[in-house]
């Protein structure tokens, strides 16, 4: 049995961890704006398990956590990070992504490959004038989606055993990363979806 560790907490199952944090987060009324409180520190420990921790938190000055009702499920709550040096910006962070079994080698390689194409995804966002969901036409919570082929198909068609081992060992310093970027950028078909549609059509 693989146990889930979050800070000082150790859970025997993923469901036990999900139940604990769902109840904990649902008990928070509005938000947390004092970084010295036990609640803030508890959630920051949880966030350390997030796959994008360094991007969302590690290099930034988080000064608070906003708690909002989920747009699609009124019984659930979402967490949004507040930044001291970007007072007008909030960024959503999924607490559910923080509760996961230790990543496999394939998951680690996939994360490296996603990070490697980050600049291309940003370039796509900037190049498009109409930032609306291509399915429901919403202009809120817009995300970039890989549409036929999906990201996992592009990844699996390109990867072989030698590339996999090299990337696992060397990360984004692997000799194959540039080749991956060129392949991905040549075959990918990107589009805008809102967060709700993207969750449905993943």
Same domain, 124 and 148: yes
The domain boundary, picked from 76, 98, 120, lies at 98
Cα dihedral sign for 129, 133, 138, 143? negative
Residue 150: burial class (beta carbons within 10 Å; 0-12, 13-18, 19+): middle
Interval 16-29: pLDDT, tens = 999 999 999 999 88
Alpha helix stretches (DSSP H) within the chain: 14-26, 38-47, 53, 105-116, 118-127, 151-158, 161-170, 177-187, 195-200
pLDDT band at 97 (very low <50, low <70, confident <90, very high): confident
Same domain, 113 and 194: yes
Q: Give the pLDDT confidence score for residue 127 in this predicted structure.
A: 94
More confident residue, 191 or 91: 191
Owning domain of residue 178: 105-200
Q: Give the pLDDT confidence score for residue 102 in this predicted structure.
A: 66
pLDDT > 80? residue 91: yes
Q: Give the pLDDT confidence score for residue 88 in this predicted structure.
A: 67
pLDDT band at 1 (very low <50, low <70, confident <90, very high): low
Q: Is-contact 76 44, C-beta < 8 A?
A: no
Same domain, 62 and 116: no
DSSP symbol at 56 = I
Same domain, 91 and 138: no
**Residues 6+ positions from 36 with CB-CB distance below 8 Å:** none
Q: Is-contact 78 70, C-beta < 8 A?
A: yes
CA angle (190, 89, 95) in 5-degree steps: 70
pLDDT > 70? residue 176: yes
For 61, other C-beta atoms within 10 Å of its C-beta total 11
129-151: average pLDDT: 91
State the Cα–Cα distance between residues 171 and 114, nearest whole angstrom.
11
Interval 37-85: pLDDT, tens = 999 999 999 998 888 887 888 777 899 999 988 877 778 889 999 998 7
Same domain, 41 and 65: yes
Q: Is-contact 39 63, C-beta < 8 A?
A: no
DSSP symbol at 150 = -
DSSP symbol at 58 = I
More confident residue, 101 or 176: 176
State the Cα–Cα distance between residues 170 and 173, nearest whole angstrom.
5
Same domain, 129 and 171: yes
Q: Is-contact 24 65, C-beta < 8 A?
A: no
Q: Which residues are paired to 64 by β-bridges?
A: 82
Same domain, 158 and 71: no
The domain boundary, picked from 98, 124, 157, lies at 98
The domain boundary, picked from 72, 98, 124, lies at 98
pLDDT > 70? residue 2: no
pLDDT > 90? residue 157: yes
Mean pLDDT of the chain: 88
Q: Which two tokens stand for residue 184?
A: 């991905």
Structural domain tally of the chain?
Answer: 2
Q: Give the pLDDT confidence score for residue 32 in this predicted structure.
A: 92
């Amino acid at each position: 049995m693989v146990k889930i560790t979050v800070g000082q907490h150790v859970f025997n199952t993923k469901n036990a961890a999900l139940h604990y944090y769902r109840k904990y987060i649902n008990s928070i009324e509005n938000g947390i704006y004092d970084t010295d409180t036990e609640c803030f520190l508890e959630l920051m420990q949880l966030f350390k398990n997030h796959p994008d921790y360094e991007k969302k938190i590690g290099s930034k000055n988080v000064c608070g956590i906003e708690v909002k009702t989920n747009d699609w499920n009124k019984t659930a709550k979402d967490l949004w990070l507040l930044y001291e040096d970007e007072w007008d910006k909030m960024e959503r962070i999924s607490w559910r992504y923080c509760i996961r079994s230790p990543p496999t080698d394939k998951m680690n390689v996939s994360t490296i490959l996603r990070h490697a194409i980050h600049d291309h995804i940003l370039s796509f966002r900037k190049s498009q004038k109409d930032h609306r969901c291509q399915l429901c036409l919403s202009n809120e919570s817009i995300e970039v989606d890989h549409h036929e082929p999906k990201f996992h198909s592009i990844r699996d068609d390109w990867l072989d055993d030698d590339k996999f081992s090299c990337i696992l060992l060397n990360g984004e310093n692997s000799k194959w990363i540039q080749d991956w970027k060129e392949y991905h950028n040549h075959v990918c078909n990107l589009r805008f979806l809102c967060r709700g549609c993207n969750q449905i059509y993943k």
